[in-house]
Amino acid sequence: MTVAATRYPHLLNSLDLGFTTLKNRVLMGSMHTGLEEQKDGFNRMAEYFGQRAAGGVGLIVTGGVAPNRAGWVAPFSLRLSSASQVGNHRIVTERVHAEGGKICMQILHAGRYGYHPLCVAPSRIKAPINRFRPWALTGKGVTSTIDDFRNCSALARESGYDGVEIMGSEGYLINQFIAAKTNKRTDRWGGDYENRIRFAVNIVESVRREAGEDFIIVYRLSMLDLVKDGSSWDEIVQLAREIEKAGATIINTGIGWHEARVPTIATMVPRAGFSWVTKRLMGEVSIPLITSNRINMPDVAEQVLAEGCADMVSMARPFLADPEWVNKTASGRVDEINTCIGCNQACLDNIFSRKTASCLVNPRACHETQLPFVETEVSKKVAVVGAGPAGLSCAATAAARGHKVTLFEASAKIGGQFLIARAIPGKGEFEETLRYFKRQLELHEVDVRLEHRATFEDLKEYDEIVVATGVIPRQLEIPGIDGENVATYSEIISGQKKAGERVAIIGAGGIGFDTALFLLHGEREHDTIDSFLTHWGVDKEYRLRGGLGDTRVESPAREIHILQRKQSKPGVSLGKTTGWIHRLELKKNGVKFRVGVEYLSIDENGLWINQGEREQLVSVDTVVVCAGQVSEPGLMKELDEKGIGYHVIGGAEKAAELDAKKAIGDGVAIADSL
Ligand code: FAD
Ligand code: NAP
Ligand code: SF4
């Protein structure tokens, strides 16, 4: 037994399903990537899934595929309903099998979440997150939809898939039949619970009848709806038993409908924050159970399995971050794992903006054919200046390609602004990105020179110079800005200055919101699963349907005002899929927003503003400036003056609209071009 196998005995153990064996307990969970609908999508998916299969994952589940047109998530989403589509899917399955992997296709009928006018549901009730009102399926429509699931699974088998996952959770069609809140039917598909689960059970039965015994059927079961009038715990147990009887091979865990107002996968959810849900179901059925949500590193995955929470773990986003997650775990290279930080910035946010998914910490994800890693034929001497996210990714990638890299950093530590960001409640995972880069620099023998502010003299001997000197906070010219009661966000977050009990924050961008969260929670971060659940009103005892309880509003640590000059809604620039969490969190803590203001002056009474043509005082003890950033120009000016050519990336290139996705992406792109 290898050292890693001893350290992760549960995770690396095989799972015997009777007719087939999975090589370990790791499932790559279903994720829509946007490749599905692209012109060359199947070839790109083959490379994407192929790399994950080669990376050692036990079982892959594809993104959702609709069984018919009404089931589309959006117009022209991927559908498998006719034999003419089989050939394309074979490109994917053959590649995965060639890498020694196994792959199931997820069948997803979006129901009332379908973003198109043909969407259907058990009843004609609009979802709060969709502008299209669904059509209610007729009785005949229900039976033909079940048949479409059967047909889709038969075609999946013909396409070479090892099985299917039937999506029964997250508030999609099957879930809509199960919950009384969305199913008001009076026929045999509505009314009491037995009737409402008949749709789900009949689908599994008909898929099993069609596919035979040697085909994996994973059923994704909503074990915690997190919506009013969702299922009770007894009903969930009853459903699980019926699904087992109907012929499912494995039950996977679904947490929360998409319309739920509880964070379920974002970075502030503690690691494995919902595995207790799956644990409740252990022993109630005899088929294996999979747990999921915010499991991102081997130790937490092993712990979940060792504690008997499940038989297998599902991770989706961690395989965008690192295709080799399993192989690195199995060969004792856990410190080389590029960890998913749960930010959603390049995966889900991209999908919701109709872009191809990728990953903030791994820009090659879903772009495997466009951004392949290629070793260099000519090794150059490369200087990278600045060890923030941009410089780190550039130095690590260039060195991995075979260049001889020196990385200059003015401060005593690598990380740039990530050193500040990691202190924000819920952003502790940024630490993993720094650990990853540090290890990459060691592995590829980058010469790291800390506390070394690079000048022209240091750089003149290099073949290539990359300037990644980042950003500095914008200085404002408001009378009183130099006062004792004024601080920058970095002075507050790094602890150099302390804020009083009443604070005005100038700037309502990402950093303004983060600083407010820091000032509200500080060390009171939800570091335990129970405190997170209590805060968001999740009741582990399921006293109410859907697992919702009372939300607890702690008395806020401070009175906070956030101001901006624009008239627009504060926080519009926050992440598409996570911004609502931050806005809700600040609202719950009584933070007051002021828009359309003009800053007049600061004195010992606070911040004087002009708002709505009225001069007024925001009476506070401390004013914190979060008014964006500007590029650090010094070095570039010097190089320009000497006529030395250089590349410039990250915040040094453009401070506006800068984020770590751009910084890391720029770093990889330039390193690939050297
Ligand atoms: P920087 O991080 O600014 O790094 C530049 C580095 O260059 C610094 O280490 C500096 O010391 C060094 N340097 C400068 N001049 C020299 C020189 N002459 N010689 C040597 N070294 C030099 N982004 C996100 O995408 N998502 C988030 O959730 C997020 N949250 C954030 C929260 C906070 C509180 C903050 C402050 C930032 C957050 N960001 C977030 C922004 C993100 O951190 C930045 O976009 C990113 O760090 C920019 O990377 P960079 O490498 O271009 O610059
Ligand atoms: P930002 O999002 O651009 O916000 C800057 C804020 O400062 C705005 O509210 C702006 O509002 C105000 N401002 C700009 N110029 C000003 C001036 N001269 N005087 C007074 N106010 C001024 O920048 P940021 O908050 O510094 O964030 C930097 C980057 O980090 C962002 O682009 C973001 O992507 C990233 N980040 C992301 C997250 C995340 O959760 N995804 C979190 C933190 C940071 P007005 O102009 O209306 O006054
Ligand atoms: Fe994880 Fe963020 Fe990458 Fe998405 S973008 S996979 S959440 S690290």
Does ligand 1 have an atom closer than 6 angstroms to the CB of 54?
Answer: no
Find out whether the beta carbon of 218 lies less than 6 Å from any atom of ligand 1. Answer: no
- Inter-residue contact 88 to 42 (CB < 8 Å): yes
Is there an atom of ligand 2 within 6 Å of 226 CB? no
Confidence at residue 383, expressed as pLDDT on a 0 to 100 scale: 98
CA-based max dimension of the chain: 82
Ligand 3: list residues with CB < 6 Å. Answer: 317, 320-321, 340-347, 359-361
For domain 476-627, say whether CATH 3.40.50.10420 is its number: no
Kindly give the pairing relationship between strand 614-619 and strand 606-611.
antiparallel
Q: What is the pLDDT of residue 571?
A: 86
Judged by its nearest atom, the ligand closest to the C-alpha of residue 493 is 1
Does 432 contact ligand 2 (Cβ within 6 A)?
A: no
Residue 652 alpha carbon to ligand 1 centre in Å: 9
Question: How far does residue 363's CA lie from ligand 3's centre (Å)?
Answer: 10
Residues of the chain with CATH 3.40.50.720: 381-472+630-673
What number of residues does the chain have? 674
Q: How far is the CA of 345 from the centre of ligand 1 (A)?
A: 16
Ligand 3 centroid to Cα of residue 102, in Å, is 24
- Atom number in ligand 1 closest to CA 635: 18
Closest residue CA from atom 20 of ligand 2? 627
How many degrees, rounded to 5, is the angle at CA 69 between CA 63 and CA 74? 55
Cβ of 108 less than 6 Å from ligand 2: no
> For residue 641, what are its two tokens?
């003056």
Ligand closest to Cα of 646 equals 1
Contact assessment for residue 216 and residue 163, using Cβ atoms and an 8 Å cutoff:
yes
Which residues sit opposite 290 in a β-bridge? 252, 312
At 521 the pLDDT is 82
CA distance 33 to 590: 37
Ligand nearest to the backbone CA of 433: 3
- CB of 387 within 6 A of ligand 1: the answer is yes
CATH code: domain 381-472+630-673 is 3.40.50.720
The CA distances from residue 39 to 45, 115, 270, 320, 363, in Å, are 11, 21, 38, 21, 21
Distance CA 395, CA 398 (A): 5
Residues 6+ apart with CB under 8 A from 170: 220, 222, 254, 256, 257, 258
Burial class (CB in 10 A: 0-12, 13-18, 19+), 550: exposed
For ligand 2, atom 15: residue with the closest CA: 627
Pocket test for ligand 1, best of 350, 358, 417, 624 (most atoms within 8 A of CB): 417
- Do the Cβ atoms of 115 and 74 come closer than 8 Å? yes
User: Could you tell me if the CB of 627 is within 6 A of ligand 2?
Assistant: yes
Q: Where are the alpha helices (DSSP H) in 444-570?
A: 456-459, 489-493, 510-521, 529-536
pLDDT of residue 633: 80
For residue 657, the ligand 2 atom closest to its alpha carbon is 32
CA distance 656 to 638: 22
Q: What pLDDT does 426 receive?
A: 87
172 is catalytic: yes
For position 297, what pLDDT does the model report?
98
Verify whether ligand 2 is closer than 6 Å to residue 253 (CB atom).
no
Torsion angle of the four alpha carbons 418, 419, 422, 423, in this order, in degrees rounded to the nearest 10 = -140
Task: Indicate where the chain has its CATH 3.20.20.70 domain(s).
Answer: 3-352
80 close to ligand 2 (CB < 6 Angstrom): no
pLDDT at position 634 is: 84
Nearest CA to ligand 1 atom 39: 659
Quick check: CB of 477 below 6 Å from ligand 2?
no
Q: Of all protein residues, whose CA lies closest to atom 12 belonging to ligand 1?
A: 386
Q: Give pLDDT < 50 ranges for the chain.
A: 523
3-state secondary structure of 340: coil
pLDDT at 3: 63
What is the model's pLDDT at position 6?
81
CA of 653 to the centre of ligand 1 (A): 12
Pocket flag, ligand 2, residue 494 (CB < 6 Å): no
Determine how many CB atoms are found less than 10 A away from the CB of residue 555: 6
Q: Find out whether the beta carbon of 476 lies less than 6 Å from any atom of ligand 2.
A: yes
pLDDT at 531: 87
Kindly state which CATH superfamily the domain 3-352 is placed in.
Aldolase class I (3.20.20.70)
Q: Which of 8, 113, 161, 172 is catalytic?
A: 172
d(CA 344, ligand 3 centre) in Å:
5
- Nearest CA owner, ligand 2 atom 40: 510
Ligand 1 geometric centre to CA of 562 (Å): 23
Contacts of 210 (CB under 8 A, 6+ apart): 150, 153, 154
Choose among 269, 662, 668: nearest CA to 429.
269
CA distance 94 to 102: 10
Number of helices followed by number of strands (H, E) in the chain: 22, 27
Residue 504: strand pairing partners: 561, 623
Which tokens go with 8?
Answer: 């992760």
Please tell me the distance between residue 212's alpha carbon and the centre of ligand 3 in angstroms: 37
Evaluate: CB of 523 within 6 angstroms of ligand 2.
no
Cα separation, 510 vs 312, whole angstroms: 36
Prediction pTM value: 0.95
Distance from the alpha carbon of residue 132 to the mean position of ligand 3, in angstroms: 29
For residue 662, the ligand closest to its alpha carbon is 1
Distance from the CA of 217 to the center of ligand 3, in angstroms?
28
CA gap 240, 284 in Å, rounded: 8
- DSSP conformation letters of 289-311: EEE-SS--SHHHHHHHHHTTS-S
Q: In the prediction, which pLDDT does 612 show?
A: 86
Q: What is the predicted pLDDT for the residue at 318? A: 98
